[in-house]
A and B are shown apart, each in its own frame.
Chain A
Amino acid sequence: MMISEEEISLDNLDMLAECHKGFIIRTVSALTGRYVSIEHDDAYMIALEGFAEAVAKYDSSRGSFLGFAKLVMESRLKNYLVKEGRTETMASLDALRESGWDFPDRISEEERCLKEEIEEYRQQLAYFDLDLEILADTAPKHRDTRENAIGIAEKTSRDRQAVSLTWQKRRLPVRAVARLADVTEKVVKTGKHFILAALIIFVKKYPGLSDWVKKAGGIQ
């Protein structure tokens, strides 16, 4: 999205930060060599501060805004990393982990619960001879199709008979699901792995994954 020079002011900071979210994340990720966490990420916050500073200090004589903003953000991030000694620590911790050492992660309770959920979920998938690799290869590519599949899984999860049949047969009862969701059998067959994977999440009521999938399927 093109931003005019007049728009680059602190009054528009929120809009500018939102528009350049990818740019900020990319800058952080490139410098730290890791992914930016959604929940709380110190480096991301520092980068945002740097971005705000760039917005405040920018004028046209400094060249392009994004070039200038990147320079400011990188400068602030480097200062932060040096101060925290993060880069070296991360590298040494990784090296120790690789050599067999185990360090407890500073992770939130929510993340820990989600991790447990995921482990259990993977076991359930294995019960149906599925794994995440299969899902990555067979999941519908189109957003609408995915949403539709998640909707079908949600409807099916409310039918006890269909659910018990699924667990009993260790596969998706295509005809029953098609009838329940009022779609053709072909639709169910095409996305059977994905529907089954979503169905497991709804039936087992994994709170973290369930919220995530519902959001993806546009289910309130």
Chain B
Amino acid sequence: MCEKAVVLEIKDDYCLVMTEEGSIVRILKKSGIREGQKIYILEEDLYCSKDFVKGSAVLPFFSREKDCGSGNSGCGKRKAIMTKILTAAAAFLIFVGTLSLPQLSDPAYAAVSFDGEKSVQLRLDDENRVISAKSYDETVNKDVLSDMEGCRLEELWDVLRDFSGEDEPVLVAGAPLKRRAEEDTEALWEEICENLNESICLRGEKKDVREADKQNKSLGIYLLEKAVDEDALAEYFGAEQGEKLAVFLKKHQEKMPQIYRKYVQLSEAGDDDAEDFEQDQDEADDEEIGDESDDSRDDDEDEKPGGSVVKPQNPDDEDSDAPSEDGNEEASDADDEDENGDSDEEEDENEDDNEEESRDERI
């Protein structure tokens, strides 16, 4: 460094100059220096003192220890302090980096678990290539798992089909692990459905994968347990998968007894509700025909929605609520007409009610 500078002010220990680059710096005081003098300054002429550490324009020149030392003794100490700070900062960065880098660089795009007689969970990259395979219940041999790694998902369909008997459902659960994977997983689901006809599909989120891993369970089993615990099988599985789920749970009841027990309890409760509902419906119809009291009708109307059935094993699980509500509406419409007291209409009403009953029975 060799810069031109104009001397602006002379202090006791140093001088303030403006360099030709426009910065104002402190330089060592030498004999013959005058204000207004234009001089050449070198790197070693810069004045460094501990008093000017913070925000000083002369900070960048730590390396000139010898020159700085000749000017003042504060520079060496400052260098030592800075070295310590930088060392601590570097150690901290290495520590943080060691912890965070593996997560930051994790290429896993989605996680998919397959649970049948055997269970495996795969972490896939954005090309559906298996990054890692794990069998939480250790039903799959380690060699098989290591063979899976690096394969594309489409190469594994045969292996995955063997995880359960013929025409037996496989519980398939998946979750995107990266935000951009959320849209792409649709294609993955379609591919799974195409290749595993008897699959019961469940979708989770990244946090579910984490939580399942904590509990040492596959994603599918974790979500199934969650669905049973929350009494939300219909929400998790949808109505159309109820039957397959019932078959799956019955088949694997020994493997997951608690889940099965809860599931049975839920089913029985659902059956009881259904029976109560049918009974109420019959009673209401009888009363309507025999006695046209408004109170009983009102009671029916109150009870009917309460009697909506959630029957997890029924494929028309969710639909079972809908027709009953419709039925209620129709019944109430009929009641309105009854109030008019027309006998012809009454007959029509009875016909409607009969239709209503037969529909409920079908449900």
Give me the interface of A with B, judged by CB distance under 8 Å.
21-22, 25-26, 29, 33-39, 90-91, 94, 105, 107, 111-119, 121-122, 132-133, 135-141, 143, 146-147, 150, 198, 208-209, 212-213, 215-217
Q: How far is the CA of A31 from the CA of B31 in the complex (A)?
A: 12
Q: How far is the CB of A123 from chain B (nearest CB, A)?
A: 12
Q: How far is the CA of A122 from the CA of B35 in the complex (A)?
A: 12
Contact present for A38 and B22 (CB under 8 Å): no
Please classify how large the interface on chain B is, using the bins under 10, 10 to 19, 20 to 34, 35 or more. Answer: 35 or more
Contact present for B34 and A38 (CB under 8 Å): no
Residues of B within 8 A of A137 (CB): 52, 54-57
Contact present for A115 and B34 (CB under 8 Å): yes
Which chain B residue shows the least CB distance to A217? B22
Residues of A within 8 A of B52 (CB): 136-137
Beyond A35-B32, A198-B22, 13 additional pairs, beta carbon < 8 A: A21-B40, A22-B42, A34-B33, A105-B34, A114-B36, A117-B36, A121-B8, A132-B9, A139-B22, A141-B57, A141-B60, A146-B22, A217-B22
Q: How far is the CA of A111 from the CA of B22 in the complex (A)?
A: 19
Q: How far is the CA of A94 from the CA of B126 in the complex (A)?
A: 78
Contact present for B6 and A114 (CB under 8 Å): yes
Interface of A is mostly: helix
From A112, A139, A140, B36 is in contact (CB under 8 Å) with A112
Q: How far is the CA of A91 from the CA of B30 in the complex (A)?
A: 11
Q: How far is the CA of A213 from the CA of B30 in the complex (A)?
A: 25
Whether A22 touches B1, Cβ cut-off 8 Å, given contacts A34-B31, A111-B36, A122-B9, is: yes
Residues of B within 8 A of A119 (CB): 35
Interface contacts (Cβ under 8 Å), in number, total 123
Contact present for B42 and A213 (CB under 8 Å): no
Residues of A within 8 A of B36 (CB): 107, 111-118, 208
Q: How far is the CA of A38 from the CA of B42 in the complex (A)?
A: 13
Residues of A within 8 A of B22 (CB): 139, 146-147, 150, 198, 213, 216-217
Q: How far is the CA of A133 from the CA of B1 in the complex (A)?
A: 23
Contact present for B57 and A139 (CB under 8 Å): yes
Contact present for B34 and A139 (CB under 8 Å): no
Residues of B within 8 A of A91 (CB): 31
Residues of B within 8 A of A121 (CB): 8
Q: How far is the CB of B20 from chain A (nearest CB, A)?
A: 6
Whether A26 touches B9, Cβ cut-off 8 Å, given contacts A139-B24, A150-B22, A212-B20, is: no
